[in-house]
Amino acid sequence: MDVRIERLDGADAGLVLLGLDRPSARNALGRQLLAEFRAAVRELGSDPGVRVVVVHSLVPGVFCAGADLKERAGMAAAEAATFVQGIRAAFTELEALPMPVIAAVEGAAFGGGLELALAADLRVVGADAKLGLVETALAIIPGGGGTQRLPRLIGVSRAKELIFTARRIGAKEAGRLGLVDQVTVAGGALESALALAREILPNGPLALRLAKQAVSQGMELDLAAGLALEEACYAQVIPTKDRLEGLAAFREKRKPQFRGE
């Protein structure tokens, strides 16, 4: 298996680790890994018990080396285009997961590896992380959403500079650019991502999903349409049991127990 799902339990129930595990190719996105990744994302997306997902690498020193360049070399042109469409779709599916998704990045995240992290809601990186959309150095362009998500995240000219130069940047620079949300000690990305996930975990699961939808979809709309979307999302939390539980817990001065109902 190139992709592993680990469901935490006890106090961490609802927290799921999605691990890339293809050491021989540094987690390069080959046919097998991609198929398993898409299946895993489908599985998590349809599970109402999943509250937060952390995507990480089980391979020391690397998050993901991007597209599998060895497989690519054996593909005809049409096949390569179809495969890249599959990568693009996979990351769109990851982005569309209804619950918060955090990427914990340790080591290299190049090309599709960085594009994968860009499709998460939040990015936590270790101090040794190296990130880059390096495709133009291979005479191709980012094809897993990088030309769209990077400029939306860090601004047009900064994204163009990184894409045109194919530059590999370190964690500190990525933090400065706002490409990542947290820079932690080398080797500490997963632990910090888990700490972040545990901060999210106690909150209303339906509220989290609707807040994600309101922000993610709203960013693509004008303000008036975005506010209408917020209203529509808010309307969906009003009738929930969890909302009443939140009010009751406040009144009774205790911690709420949300069930996602």
Q: Which sequence positions are flagged as catalytic?
A: 67, 112, 115, 135
What is the chain's alpha carbon radius of gyration, rounded to the nearest angstrom?
Answer: 19
Q: How many CA atoms lie within 13 A of 261 on its CB side?
A: 6
108 lies in the site for ligand COA, by CB under 6 A: yes
Q: Which is nearer to ligand COA, 2 or 135 (CB)?
A: 135
138 lies in the site for ligand COA, by CB under 6 A: yes
Q: Give the shortest CB-144-to-ligand COA separation in angstroms.
A: 9
Question: Which of 36, 135, 181, 242 touches ligand COA by CB under 6 A?
Answer: 135
Considering only residues 17 to 56 of the shown chain, the ones binding ligand COA according to CB under 6 A are 25-26, 28
Token pair for 236: 């969906």
126 lies in the site for ligand COA, by CB under 6 A: no
- Are the C-beta atoms of residues 129 and 189 closer than 8 Å to each other? yes
Give strand ranges (E) for the chain. Answer: 3-7, 15-20, 52-57, 62-64, 101-105, 108-110, 122-126, 130-132, 169-170, 182-184
Closest CA to 173 of 158, 187, 163: 158
Strands 130-132, 101-105: pairing kind: unpaired
Q: Give the shortest CB-52-to-ligand COA separation in angstroms.
A: 27
Closest CA to 107 of 34, 190, 15, 197: 190
Q: Residues in the chain, how many?
A: 261
Question: Which of 70, 160, 176, 259 touches ligand COA by CB under 6 A?
Answer: 70
The piece of 50-58, 59-67, 156-164, 238-246 that touches ligand COA (CB under 6 A) is 59-67
Question: Which of 62, 105, 122, 207 touches ligand COA by CB under 6 A?
Answer: 62
Closest CA to 146 of 165, 159, 129, 131: 159
Q: How many CA atoms lie within 13 A of 185 on its CB side?
A: 2
Question: Which of 69, 211, 229, 237 touches ligand COA by CB under 6 A?
Answer: 69
Q: Give the shortest CB-72-to-ligand COA separation in angstroms.
A: 8
Q: Give the shortest CB-74-to-ligand COA separation in angstroms.
A: 11
Question: Which of 37, 91, 110, 258 touches ligand COA by CB under 6 A?
Answer: 110
Q: Give the shortest CB-188-to-ligand COA separation in angstroms.
A: 19
Closest CA to 98 of 199, 18, 217: 217
Q: Which is nearer to ligand COA, 100 or 112 (CB)?
A: 112
Q: Which residues sit at the interface with ligand COA, rule CB under 6 A? A: 25-26, 28, 61-62, 65-70, 108, 110-112, 134-135, 138
